[in-house]
Structure 1
Amino acid sequence: MKKKKIMKLVSGIILMFVGLHFHNVQVDAKTIMDTTKDKTYQIDLDQDGKKEKVKLKQCSIDDLDYNYYGIIYVDGKKAYTTPKDIYAYDINMKIITSGDQVFINVSQSSDNGNLEFNKLLSFNGTTLDEVIDFKKVEPGLRSCEITSATKDKIVVSCESMPCQLASIKWKSTYLVNGNAVKIKSHVHKVKSGIEGRSISTLETNRTVTFTSEIGSKKVAFKLGAGKKVKLLSITTKKDKIYGCFQYGKKKGYVRVDPYHETAYFKNIYKYLAG
């Protein structure tokens, strides 16, 4: 009898933990809600206790096949129109909940998934205002997507393709305070966006000068061809990306971004196709 009671107790505890696990997954999933075009969603955008009806309509740009702009309606009225001078494919809309704040996330990409815009909007009672433009905050983004949201934080998974490194990926953390959103840091650890490839160690293919500070002309060290350096991090600053590299005990910076085509390292070119 004791054995049966113990087994029942153990089973009950297991079921309780399983229930809690699935409950948490369900709650987490609600913080990021994918939507379907032309479908109406009811959600309290301004947290006033009354749910608004939200719908995204995708519209064709005249005489341009497969190029669109979008109109977001709130309670049947136009609340936001995406740019009509950006020629790209399907528009995506997500509803993001961060604590008590609800945002609309709208994005659009063109050929090869190249990001055209990715913005966060908030409802002011009449229209949707732009809170942040992720593409403007960090330069050279080839793609980015909100992957998690908590009470005071939003995490965005990013990818860029500097000509000096090829595809790199990182996660940017944004701090949320009411309807104000700002990036926590412009310094990021990165990994290769190409499966099975490591970018932690790179070999120079020419003489490369590394500076002591970002954007500085002060030389930290200079290396000839055939030297191996370790990539520590990147810094996204204004319209540029800089890599922080280590050689022995020395650390230095060099500009690495999609708009700066000078090659620094061996065998990068074969990863740049497309």
Structure 2
Amino acid sequence: MPTNTDHQPNAKRGIYLLPNLLTTAGLFSGFFAIVASMNNNFESAAVAIFIAMVFDGLDGRVARMTNTQSDFGAEYDSMADIVSFGMAPALVMYNWALHDLGKLGWLAAFIFVAGGALRLARFNTNINTVDKRFFQGLAIPSAAAIVAGAVWVGSKYAIDPTDVHYVAAALTIMCGLLMVSNFRYHSFKDVDWRGRVSFMVILIVVLAFVIVATEPSLVLFSIFLLYALSGPVTTFRTVKKLKLEHVVGDASDDCGEQVDTKAAEKAEKSSSTAKPD
């Protein structure tokens, strides 16, 4: 007869509701953006991608705060990201400005999607070895914000897409290539969000919200575009001698300056002492 211990593995099965519910909300926002762009509602499509960014930022933090992290959640989050921040912005941009360019248009959109997929794969495989203070390459939500922000600005100010389709293609390709680059982007993970700050900091935060609220499309697009440009600037300023590995390819520990040495040694030690399955 079966005992209670026979049912214990089944009792541990299942998924955590809250973080995966937020991930699903982000996935829905990305899918809605695609559908809205097909119906020529480009402003709504762009806003939906930014809403997906909010859910993407919440699901991981909620999982850590509630101790509901899981391998399933991490995999689900990555697959949702490729839809919300890979396929969605590429198709929104294609439907808005790239479709008139023929082969160049869909190739530009594909470069963005492929760059986003490669960026996510590299991030997932290097998550325990890189310096967590910096991202290696432009993060896919930031790249999506630039592409979606450009569409939002164009729709908001009634810019004729045929007048800027070559600029749109160049911007889309640039974001795709930045995601697979080795440029260092500050992750802001070393900021102490729970620490005490001066009253002036709160006033600056309030002022920032006011500025964003005045012209959200233009301000958000400008912020993320400047962030994308900060990667090459940060990299060029921190390396003594610029090499190809600083820009693209497999960055080595001594010249890429992107691998956390202590974390890498710890990971290597644990892998060498781990027992085989």
State the TM-score, normalizing by the size of structure 2.
Answer: 0.26
Q: TM-score, normalised by structure 1?
A: 0.27
Computing the radius of gyration over CA atoms, which structure comes out larger, 1 or 2? 1
Higher relative contact order (CA 8 A, sep 6+): 2
Higher strand share: 1
The structure whose residues are more often helix, as a share, is 2
